[in-house]
Structure 1
Amino acid sequence: MIGAITLLLGCHLLGELFIAATGLPLPGPVVGMVILFTGLMTRGGVPDSVAQVSDTLLRNLSLLFVPAGVGVMLHLSLIEKEWLGVTAALIGSSAITVIFTALLMVGLKKLSHLGAND
């Protein structure tokens, strides 16, 4: 269990260090996930200990939204003043996400059909 947590946190740290060294405009944890994913793909699967720790973290993921909820409640008056901008940002970002996901799925579907014909 400790080894799996160390692996997850180590990948996170490597991602943060990579971003700090290169200055790329990416979140360190995202780069850490790419490092973890690459390592797991190279290994050929997810070890049971890593799967168990990951499942536990995912089951408790909702706890990470508590600080954000407190922040919203704390600054509710500011959100009330800027409701139009907040609403536009939420709708716009959601629309962009849906459009990008749809385009990505269409592209991947075409790519998988090209690979199947080879």
Structure 2
Amino acid sequence: MTWLYGLTGLLVFQLLGEMAVRLLHLPVPGPVVGMLLLLGWLFWRGDTPPALDQAAKGLLNHLSLLFVPAGVGAMIYLDALMANVWAVVLSLTLGTVLTLMVTAWVSQKTQRRSTMRQPERSDG
């Protein structure tokens, strides 16, 4: 029963994100804003409630089911995708390269920061 409370919490944050997008006319999907709100709340709280943890693990166990609608949609619009195959390939390639570059940059920054925080050892 606790997973139901966690799932309700996830849906509440999605609803808050949808409301924020509609009220503030943001060009971002509501669930993305809801996830950012959830992330902020979890940072503020300092830990993950057990109900939310249980609901998230349950959803992650069945994550592959969420790709079925996207695959079906790709098959339905296969003609449109094939008509724009170069634009799709270019978008995927640039998106992947940009993601790798940003990930490397963030990793480098966090590694430098963690290196600066480590106290020096004195062998003596």
Q: Do the two structures share a fold, i.e. TM-score over 0.5?
A: yes
> Given the alignment, which residue of 31, 34, 39 partners 2:33?
31
Q: CA RMSD in A?
A: 1.8
Deviations 1:28-85 (A, max 9, x none): 2122112222222333211222111101111112112111111111222222222222
Q: Does 1:84 align with 2:104?
A: no
Aligned-pair identity (%):
37
Number of aligned residue pairs: 117
Match of 1:69 in 2: 71
Q: How many Å separate the matches in 2 of 1:72 and 1:29? A: 22
Q: Which residue of 2 aligns with 1:58?
A: 60
Counterpart AA for 1:74: I
Partner in structure 2 of residue 14 of structure 1: 16
**Structure 1 spans left out of the alignment, 5+ residues:** none
> Taking CA–CA contacts closer than 8 Å with sequence separation of 6 or more, which of the two structures ends up with the larger relative contact order?
2
Which has a greater percent of helix?
1
Question: What does residue 99 of structure 2 align with?
Answer: 97
- Kept after mapping to 1: 8 A contact 2:17/2:34: yes
User: Which residue is 2:7 aligned to?
Assistant: 5
Q: Any stretches of 5+ residues in structure 2 without a counterpart?
A: 120-124
